[in-house]
């Protein structure tokens, strides 16, 4: 069997059990790959959507597991962070090899014209609370984020019930959920029975279960599961005659923004010590990965299941709104207290634009 692996300073990444393709850090321009997003059908008929809804019983959702990966070994040849690197602040304990069921990925460095879409509101209680920098705490302050962020459930090609996270964003069709590439497709196969549950809380589904009719990802992720383009979107069908963001509102989204900004990351981590039942957040100033990718990094102890959850720039703690500017993508096994997410450049923007111009019915 062909081993798909990328090494830099003898450090290996693993993507939810799949070895990283060689040369994954290269941009699509060097390969001649078609830069247009790739899409495929989800449940695109009423009968198929009903089958998916019937499948996701409360018991199956409770039993759903994050995509598990064997922890890659920490290479002895890696000498640690360079001087001035934000990684240098991590504790010695955080550099030890440990079991870490998690998904690993990467980012795009393609730059283009900065572009952002304003968030839209839906009725929700709002309160003014000062949020300190956090490595991973339960979000208890309400606002739009508790309606727009949710759990993603799907079955993998081998039939495993699994979970990720996602975000409802402002879009022309009022039906777009942003998430990570490995949350829609992995090991060359698309996931099935894909649903989004906004506001998931201890098993409750206060805003319903939304079935994907279309799934989209970057051509780089589709072709070779390139860790630099771990980005995806889903278009979900209306529920009881109403569109997704008509019910829950939509977060803004932004592309080609400056790096190293204050960020808030959200998700539903389901691997220990979390159980996927509550919305967790991290916050702090992002930094650049200097080991293997050109991702954004953030101190964060969220685990598997938070994959695909949003990273916000310009997040307002009083309203719970901001601009999605990355998603939870990967962790290095030797640095479990740091999360990494892809740069939202032109490829991410193309996925979003294609998704918002797709008919949700």
**Nearest to 87, CA basis, from 346, 295, 309:** 295
- pLDDT tens per residue across span 213-262: 999 999 999 998 888 889 999 999 999 999 999 999 999 999 999 999 99
Give the pLDDT score at 81: 39
**Nearest to 294, CA basis, from 112, 135, 105, 115:** 105
ω into 117 cis (within 30 of 0)? no
Residues listed for the chain: 361
Selected residue with higher pLDDT from 212 and 44: 212
Average pLDDT across the chain, whole number:
77
Q: Degrees (nearest 5) of the Cα angle 306, 59, 15?
A: 30
Q: Assign 118 a pLDDT band (cuts: 50, 70, 90).
A: low
Ramachandran angles phi, psi of 91, nearest 5°: -80, 160
Residue 125 has pLDDT above 90, yes or no: no
Residue 22 has pLDDT above 50, yes or no: no
Beta-carbon-side half-sphere exposure of residue 239 (alpha carbons within 13 Å):
21
359: Cβ contacts below 8 Å, ≥ 6 apart: 173, 235
Selected residue with higher pLDDT from 139 and 300: 300
46: Cβ contacts below 8 Å, ≥ 6 apart: none
- pLDDT tens per residue across span 283-307: 999 998 888 888 999 999 899 899 9
Spacing of C-alpha 49 from chain mean position: 23
**Nearest to 300, CA basis, from 342, 341, 348:** 341
Residue 19 has pLDDT above 70, yes or no: no
- pLDDT tens per residue across span 317-337: 989 999 999 999 988 888 888
Selected residue with higher pLDDT from 290 and 67: 290
> Which numeric CATH code is attached to 7-24+39-79+93-356?
2.40.10.120
**What's the whole-number mean pLDDT along residues 169-195?**
96
C-alpha torsion 3→8→10→16, nearest 10:
-50
Question: How many CB atoms lie under 10 A from the CB of residue 129?
Answer: 12
- Among 2-11, 86-95, 198-207, 223-232, whose mean pLDDT is lowest? 2-11
**Nearest to 24, CA basis, from 7, 44, 1, 3:** 7
Give the pLDDT score at 294: 84
Selected residue with higher pLDDT from 270 and 83: 270
């Amino acid at each position: 069997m062909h081993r798909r692996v990328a090494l830099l300073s003898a450090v290996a990444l693993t993507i939810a059990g799949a070895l990283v393709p060689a040369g994954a850090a290269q941009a699509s321009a060097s390969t001649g790959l078609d830069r247009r997003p790739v899409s495929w059908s989800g449940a695109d008929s009423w009968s198929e959507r009903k089958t998916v809804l019937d499948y996701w019983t409360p018991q199956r959702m409770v039993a759903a597991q994050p995509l598990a990966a064997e922890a890659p070994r920490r290479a002895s040849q890696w000498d640690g962070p360079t001087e001035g690197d934000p990684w240098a602040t991590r504790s010695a304990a955080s550099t030890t090899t440990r079991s870490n069921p998690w998904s690993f990925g990467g980012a795009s460095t393609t730059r283009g014209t900065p572009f952002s879409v304003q968030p839209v509101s839906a009725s929700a209680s709002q309160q003014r609370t000062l949020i300190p920098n956090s490595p991973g705490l339960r979000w208890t302050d309400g606002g739009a984020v508790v309606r727009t962020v949710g759990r993603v459930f799907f079955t993998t090609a081998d039939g495993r019930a699994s979970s990720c996270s996602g975000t409802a964003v402002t879009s022309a069709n009022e039906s777009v959920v942003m998430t990570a590439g490995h949350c829609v497709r992995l090991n060359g196969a698309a996931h099935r029975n894909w649903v989004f549950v906004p506001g998931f809380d201890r098993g409750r589904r206060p805003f319903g279960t939304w079935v994907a009719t279309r799934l989209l990802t970057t051509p780089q992720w589709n072709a070779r599961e390139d860790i630099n383009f771990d980005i995806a979107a889903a278009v979900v069908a209306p529920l009881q005659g109403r569109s997704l963001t008509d019910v829950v509102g939509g977060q803004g989204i932004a592309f080609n923004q400056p790096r190293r900004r204050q960020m808030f990351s959200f998700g539903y981590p389901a691997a220990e010590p979390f159980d996927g039942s509550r919305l967790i957040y991290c916050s702090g100033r992002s930094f650049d990965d200097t080991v293997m990718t050109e991702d954004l990094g953030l101190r964060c102890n969220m685990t598997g299941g938070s994959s695909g959850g949003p990273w916000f720039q310009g997040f307002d703690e009083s309203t719970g709104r901001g601009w999605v500017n990355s998603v939870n993508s990967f962790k290095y096994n030797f640095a479990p207290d740091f999360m990494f997410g892809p740069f939202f450049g032109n490829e991410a923007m193309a996925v979003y634009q294609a998704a918002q111009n797709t008919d949700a019915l």
